[in-house]
Amino acid sequence: MKKNALYTIFALVIVLSMLLVACQPAAPSGEKPAPAKESNKFEGIKVEAPSCDYGGEFKSIEAVDELTVKFTLCYPDPAFPSKVAFNVFSIVDKGYLDGIGGDSIKMSDQPNGTGPFKLVSWTRGDNVTYEANPNYWGEKPAYKTLIFRWSEQSAQRLLELQSGQVDGIDNPAPEDFETISGDSSLQLIPRDALNIFYIGFNVDMAPFNNEKVRQAFAQAIDRQRIVDQYYPGGSQVANVFVPPAMKPGHSDTPKYYEYNPDAAKALLEEAGFDFTQEVPLSFRNVVRGYLPTPDKVAQEIQAQLAEIGVTVKLDQMESAAFIDATSAGQKAFYLLGWGADYPDATNFYDYHFANANNLQFGTEFPDIVEPISAAAKIFDPAERQKLYDVANEKLNEHVPMIPVAHGASGVAFKASVEKAMTGPLGNEPFYLMKPEGDQLVWMQNGEPAALFCSDETDGETLRGCQQIYEGLLNYTPGGVEVVPALAESFSGNTEATEYTFKLRPGVRFHDGAALDADDVVASFKMVWDAKDPNHKGRTGTFEYFGAFFGAFLNAE
């Protein structure tokens, strides 16, 4: 797959949004559209903040008419279309939502989306089974059944693919790339490295509440050795938080700390570090494109820190528990990473370092928050980059994390699976693929935590949800360009403070309810308004909304 010119694509998307581009067909002929309501009887919902003083991005969301929704923002957001294309912001039926009360667990057992697949069953610990949605508005799946299975062991995933038990696997191990490429019965599909693996610190928790300790650890880690030993070809040592293909955002300046164990030990001694203590390093043994061998890398970091006299105790956790704990700011020292959700640097910088809802690093640094927040509101790439360079200087100074690697990764399928693909966002369009029979079995790294994703951040969970739910916009299959989905067109003003979406007529939810503008308002209000009765989710943190759009309305 050719590397996308990400900023060019993103800028093109914004221009297209101003021209009311419609890129998808209407419901296929032969299907009866949902009955239209008489326009004079439709009383659309409008939710509005009293003022923008509450600190968030949204000023109002309004159902202008049955098929038109308007978002008014408190400040410019050129990335708004890319953000709402992310499937965390999927649309659910208002009546269904009110009836089930926004409980992600209940919604996982009885999901009701508009997507190409419907849930048949979720056997916890074993599989999720979907069936093709016969009333899907778009291109219908060419097969009947989609099954998700999982294993944290890359060797097991490959064995099941080779034996024909599954049709596709995520993230084969680096050492298996050559084996897959040399097997005519299989196909290896590379995935662009739009990711970052980092070593995280909670700057409020000892011993990492001392900046010199964090700076010392940054000099004690041989990042080049980690990439050389544990990553596939095409991976790169990370010097800044965003990957090289993402510009503005990435820059080779300022330079990151060089590996220097002697300087690291001296700085620890200067900081008064207690060398008799045992420092826990938390991680989950779940393969990711940004971290293909978590257990081995954790052991490598343990060994490298031992060379400067630091004793590290490895704390391996179950995946969902680990994500919940780091998100809640409960882990002082941990291994994590990030893959792009949408093709803009705001997805990396703003989510992690200018987001009061993200507690993983502890207290925010104002001199990091300010340039990042300012850059998000600017169209000009050069001006944005100047601000990101300032932010990177401060990230180097304060060290809330150590950037380690941009990992190359991929997926593997049987050679017989037609239209097999992945993408830099991990948004595999299974509904477009064509297996040999009437079933496609996919094996990923871990089990979904839920099957409704407004309150989720984990990749396996998001992939499970995107089979059932859809947003106003989507990303092109295998790519990053924004295209219409439930909205057949959209437009924005030149200030990037107003966006209007025209919904696709004739779309039905899995239970037969017709999509209308009130469903869109209710779906966003559920997350935006902290006092909405449906504002529950699974953990109640709704990290992505806070990261993308700032403060919640009516938050206490």
CATH code at position 177: 3.40.190.10
Q: In this structure, are 187 and 206 located in the same domain?
A: no
Radius of gyration of the chain (CA): 23
Which run of H or E residues covers position 58?
A: strand 58-65
User: What pLDDT is recorded for position 547?
Assistant: 85
Is position 365 within any domain? yes
Q: In this structure, are 217 and 327 located in the same domain?
A: yes
Q: In this structure, are 381 and 425 located in the same domain?
A: no
User: What pLDDT is recorded for position 298?
Assistant: 98
CA distances from 222 to 90, 210, 250, 398 (A): 41, 21, 21, 19
Is position 149 within any domain? yes
Q: In this structure, are 72 and 124 located in the same domain?
A: no
Please state whether 540 falls in left (phi above 0), alpha (psi between -120 and 50) or beta.
Answer: left
Q: In this structure, are 392 and 324 located in the same domain?
A: yes
Is residue 384 within 8 A of residue 375, CB to CB? The reply is yes
Q: In this structure, are 429 and 499 located in the same domain?
A: no
User: What pLDDT is recorded for position 478?
Assistant: 87
Q: Which of 494, 479, 463, 483 is nearest to 84 (CA)?
A: 483
User: What pLDDT is recorded for position 192?
Assistant: 82
> pLDDT tens, 467-524?
999 999 999 998 888 999 999 999 999 999 999 999 999 999 999 999 999 999 999 9
Is position 131 within any domain? yes
Q: Which two tokens stand for residue 255?
A: 């330079």
Count of structural domains within the chain? 3
Alpha helix positions (H), 23-153: 80-84, 94-100, 104-109
The residues near 171 (Cβ < 8 Å, ≥ 6 apart) are 154, 157, 287, 288, 289, 292, 409, 410, 411, 444, 445
Query: How far is it between the farthest Cα atoms of the chain?
Result: 76
CA distances from 355 to 176, 229, 322, 351, 364 (A): 38, 34, 20, 6, 8
Q: In this structure, are 330 and 390 located in the same domain?
A: yes
64: CATH: 3.90.76
Q: In this structure, are 308 and 242 located in the same domain?
A: yes
Q: Which of 401, 515, 348, 445 is nearest to 6 (CA)?
A: 348
Helix, strand, coil content of the chain in percent (nearest 5): 30, 20, 45
Q: Which residues of the chain have pLDDT under 50?
A: 1-39
User: What pLDDT is recorded for position 294?
Assistant: 95
Is position 461 within any domain? no
User: What pLDDT is recorded for position 252?
Assistant: 85
User: What pLDDT is recorded for position 4?
Assistant: 39
Q: How far apart are CA 309 and CA 305, in angstroms?
A: 7
Is residue 524 within 8 A of residue 487, CB to CB? The reply is no
Which of 383, 402, 421 is the last residue in one of the domains?
A: 402
Q: In this structure, are 382 and 239 located in the same domain?
A: yes
Q: To which residue do tokens 């008014």 refer?
A: 72
Is position 29 within any domain? yes
Is position 462 within any domain? no
Is residue 473 within 8 A of residue 427, CB to CB? The reply is no
Asked if the peptide bond before residue 400 counts as cis, ω within 30 degrees of 0, the response is no
User: What pLDDT is recorded for position 140?
Assistant: 97
Is position 554 within any domain? no
Q: Is 437 exposed, middle or buried (0-12, 13-18, 19+ CB in 10 A)?
A: exposed
This prediction has a pTM of: 0.74
Q: In this structure, are 222 and 317 located in the same domain?
A: yes
Q: In this structure, are 49 and 167 located in the same domain?
A: no
User: What pLDDT is recorded for position 40?
Assistant: 56
262: CATH: 3.10.105.10
Q: In this structure, are 207 and 345 located in the same domain?
A: yes
Give the structural domain span for 171.
Answer: 115-191+409-444
Strand order across the 168-170 sheet? 117-123, 127-132, 145-150, 439-444, 168-170, 409-414, 186-191
CA distances from 104 to 220, 289, 535, 542 (A): 42, 27, 10, 11
Which of 386, 402, 418 is the last residue in one of the domains?
A: 402
Above pLDDT 90, what percent of the chain? 79
Q: How far apart are CA 281 and CA 275, in angstroms?
A: 16
Q: Which of 407, 406, 394, 402 is nearest to 238 (CA)?
A: 406
SS3 237: strand
Is residue 194 within 8 A of residue 236, CB to CB? The reply is no
Is residue 385 within 8 A of residue 399, CB to CB? The reply is no
SS3 524: helix
Q: How far apart are CA 86 and CA 334, in angstroms?
A: 26
Is position 458 within any domain? no
